[in-house]
Amino acid sequence: MMNEHGGDIYGRSVKLDFSANLNPLGMPENVRKAAAEAVGKSDRYPDPHCRELTEKLALSEKFPAENIVCGNGADDLIFRIVHALRPKRAVIAKPTFSEYAKALGEAGCTVAEYPPESICGVLDESVDMLILCNPNNPTGQLYDTELLGKISEKCSGNDIVFLCDECFIELCENPEMHSVRQFVNGNTIVLKAFTKTYAMAGLRLGYALFGSPGIAGKVRCCGQFWSVSSVAQAAGIAALDETQYVGNARKIIAGERAYLSGELRRYGFEVFPSDTDFILFRCGIPLDRLLLNEGIMIRNCGNYSGLGEGYFRIAVRIHEENEALIKAIEKVIKWQKT
């Protein structure tokens, strides 16, 4: 059975989608133009090695180009990494993104799930791979930097591949202070995506930074040959110039996250602290179904390991849309009481 994810608005009457966590400013206009221009050249095959995009990423990330692999979204890279390396036993922190366990399971890997605070204690030489999401999806919380350092050291000492998914970190304040990049070694893989940072979900573009060029080479050779379209590559090249856009988005997200958290608490919901562009909360009513009647979709987190019924996640969007969400919540709560 296919795993449920946010953003599946198709076949539903949705006016506002709060289930997908993208940059609330939307796709930058220059990125949109670059993608549109690339469509006119789509009678040619795309560059299978993403040469221009990779070179620009190397400058932006201050990372060797030979250690960067681009993919058809971060999800594509998760599967390629797992299938290229074929771990036999892996550890993931729960609750988290379901695609990690799905990819590992498809590769015949045994998966053990632990809460974040227990991770260090289970990392021994019997483990081949560790996958963490920083900030975590669905909690939105960043890992403590000291803990990340300990985890990285444990992985290095026990020859464990450490895949750290940082697709949401660019939308946090001071992302460089919280990134596993400070602890990168030969066993580390940092996963990132244009999807969230530049609201390019439909174009599908992600990349991974590898501590080892050898592991990068294995992953580069795994999967389909033309994994990234020429349209996505052109959009990615243009997006890397949008530094002010990302900074503006961080400020908006911080303010709107505080507004939404306060309003949700006002209705008596249990709201979990978040560092990024989405909020996890808990309430005692079927809020996703009630809001869908109002044309608003949120993410039901009942299928996350370690959560269950009553947990929901919402994206942080622009103020006008956030206000519309809060008004709709107020409306359905009143309707429930009558």
Looking at the structure, tell me whether residues 210 and 310 fall in a common domain: no
In a domain, 38, yes or no: yes
pLDDT tens for each residue of 284-294: 999 999 999 99
Given 211, 239, 267, the domain boundary residue is 239
In a domain, 11, yes or no: no
In a domain, 175, yes or no: yes
Q: Which pLDDT score is estimated for 13?
A: 85
Looking at the structure, tell me whether residues 57 and 149 fall in a common domain: yes
pLDDT tens for each residue of 264-274: 999 999 999 99
In a domain, 182, yes or no: yes
pLDDT tens for each residue of 300-319: 999 898 898 999 999 999 99
Looking at the structure, tell me whether residues 51 and 117 fall in a common domain: yes
Q: Residue 250 maps to which CATH number?
A: 3.90.1150.10
Looking at the structure, tell me whether residues 41 and 185 fall in a common domain: yes
Looking at the structure, tell me whether residues 182 and 277 fall in a common domain: no
User: What's the rounded Cα separation, in Å, for the pair 196 and 277?
Assistant: 9
In a domain, 212, yes or no: yes
Looking at the structure, tell me whether residues 110 and 223 fall in a common domain: yes
> Is residue 55 scored above 80 in pLDDT?
yes
User: What's the rounded Cα separation, in Å, for the pair 47 and 204?
Assistant: 15
> Is residue 150 scored above 80 in pLDDT?
yes
pLDDT tens for each residue of 76-130: 999 999 999 999 999 999 999 999 999 999 999 999 999 999 999 999 999 999 9
Looking at the structure, tell me whether residues 261 and 290 fall in a common domain: yes
Sign of CA dihedral 210, 213, 219, 224: positive
Given 214, 239, 264, the domain boundary residue is 239
User: What 3-state DSSP class applies to 301?
Assistant: coil
In a domain, 1, yes or no: no
Q: Which pLDDT score is estimated for 1?
A: 39
Would you tell me how many other CB atoms lie within 10 Å of the CB of residue 261? Answer: 18
Amino acid at the residue 237: I
Q: Are 181 and 209 a contacting pair, CB within 8 Å?
A: yes
Sign of CA dihedral 104, 106, 110, 115: positive
Looking at the structure, tell me whether residues 253 and 202 fall in a common domain: no
What does the block give as tokens for 134?
A: 């920083």
Closest to 180 (Cα-Cα) out of 119, 237, 261, 258 = 119
Looking at the structure, tell me whether residues 124 and 81 fall in a common domain: yes
Q: What mean pLDDT is reported for the chain?
A: 95
Q: Which pLDDT score is estimated for 338?
A: 66
Q: Which pLDDT score is estimated for 299?
A: 96
Q: Would you give the DSSP letter of residue 185?
A: -
Looking at the structure, tell me whether residues 323 and 225 fall in a common domain: no
The pLDDT confidence band at residue 337, using thresholds 50, 70 and 90, is: confident
Q: How many domains does the chain have?
A: 2
Given 239, 270, 294, the domain boundary residue is 239
The whole model's pTM is what?
0.95
Residue 58: which domain range? 29-239
Looking at the structure, tell me whether residues 42 and 157 fall in a common domain: yes
Q: Residue 210 maps to which CATH number?
A: 3.40.640.10
